[in-house]
Amino acid sequence: MKPLQLNPTFNVDDFLKQNWQKKPVLLPKLVQNFSDAISAEELAGLACEEFIESRLISDFEQGGWLLKNGPFEESDFTSLPESNWTLLVQAVDQWVEAVADIKTLFDFLPSWRIDDIMISFAAQGGGVGPHYDYYDVFLLQGCGERNWQVGERCASTATQRPNTELNLLQEFKPKMEFTLSAGDALYIPPRFSHWGTATSDSLCYSIGFRAPSLAEMIEGFSDLIIKEQDPVNRYEDSYAAGRLRSGEIKAQLLDTSFQQISEKLADKKKFIVWFGCHVSQPKYPELIQGLDQPLSSTEFKALLCEGVNLVKNPSSRFAFLESSDDAGVLLFVDGAMVAFPVDQLSAITSLCEQSHFSEDSSLSLFTDPGMMGLLRQLINQGSLLASG
Ligand code: SIN
Ligand code: CO
């Protein structure tokens, strides 16, 4: 199969300046000669697996939206009518290599922002109704055709339709309309209302990007700070302010505590480490299993001498941060951080960029003793896998 490539007419810089996070845009033939990475039948097969998230959404009576969650039985599909339903399968990139490869097309954006690739098969007339999502999404069209209507950015208070388990908008005013065929993509920033309807049986790949909410960041970062606190440090009264009335809380007496809390939360270095660990958390941690028998350095070298290549676990997330102070380069893998001296920057960058490593293609990683130690640690913890 030919390697996937972005259409050379797609201007990444223009897209990032004008559209990313801001404005929906149709990207015609973003992938030229695109052929599906999975068939509708294979997708239905995945939807029958217990460990894979899937949904079936139907609109058999106009406006009577129904949701059924997987796993499904084969009979669930054979009993469906010919039109007006959609099967959606989450995180197909975890299970099908050709689908995971689609993510490489979006390497002009940080890989840790990608959440997953959800694939929908919609029978003619099928769709999931008017809604908005909290994340950026590229809707890449596979076989068949789908018509997309896109409205404005919604407030999070926008009224939802009653009497349905689906989060559908009560009011939807389309401003743009496009019909996508194989290789076309539609980019939709967070909270822009949209509604896709299959004009023929069709597959659509949703490359979704995650971004932690402010609430999630406050909760996660403060949890870390809480764990580090010594219980001897407490609120203290200073009665120098004079006697208090029974039941009285005095604002000035809270100054010290408020200042202490503010200082703890204002620790940018700590926040950076927390953030890197948080965004590199895998979506499905149970799919990253360490080796039962961790490899010693001699065993690891012997494995490489046998010509074994290393590949990233498709569930693992790698990210790095080039620190502006003396902290060097921080590497984050699957929710943990390791610091390296700044002269390791290019090795760490290739570790984050590539998905396959061999002595031929990634020599710098294999010749540096520090990197060899890291590779061994990553294989022992399951973030890298040995492949023949
Ligand atoms: C679909 O694939 O039909 C739904 C994708 C979306 O609207 O986000
Ligand atoms: Co959507």
Domain holding 62: CATH number?
Answer: 2.60.120.650
Q: Which of 209, 242, 274 is the last residue of a domain?
A: 209
Q: Closest ligand to 195 CA? A: 1
Residue at which a domain ends, from 145, 175, 209: 209
Looking at ligand 1, which residue's alpha carbon is closest to its atom 4? 128
**pLDDT tens digits along 122-156:** 999 999 999 999 999 999 999 999 999 999 999 98
Mean pLDDT of 318-340: 94
Q: Which ligand is nearest to the CA of 206?
A: 1
For residue 274, being part of any structural domain is answered with: no
> Domain ends where: 194, 209, 224?
209
Answer yes or no: do 195 and 307 share one domain. no
Res. 369: pLDDT tops 90 = no
pLDDT at residue 332 greater than cutoff 80 = yes
Q: Where are the alpha helices (DSSP H) in 88-213?
A: 97-100
The CATH number covering residue 383 comes to: 3.40.366.30
| Residue spans of alpha helices (H) in the chain | 12-18, 40-46, 74-78, 97-100, 214-227, 255-265, 268-279, 297-305, 345-353, 363-367, 369-381
Dihedral of CA atoms 77, 132, 176, 103 in degrees, nearest 10, equals: -70
Range of the domain at 347: 285-387
Cα(133) to ligand 2 centroid in Å equals: 5
Number of domains in the chain: 2
Residue 227 inside a domain? The answer is no
Q: Give this prediction's pTM.
A: 0.94
Is residue 291 scored above 90 in pLDDT?
yes
User: Are residues 300 and 194 part of one domain?
Assistant: no
Domain check: are 193 and 318 in the same one? no
The C-alpha R_g of the chain, in whole angstroms, comes to 25
Instruction: Ligand 1: list residues with CB < 6 Å.
Output: 86, 120, 122, 127-128, 133, 137, 194, 196, 204, 206
Report d(CA 33, CA 42) in Å as an integer: 21
Q: Report the separation in Å between the CA atom of 28 and the middle of ligand 2, taken as the mean of its atom positions.
A: 19
194 in a domain, yes or no? Answer: yes
Domain shared by 189 and 58, yes or no: yes
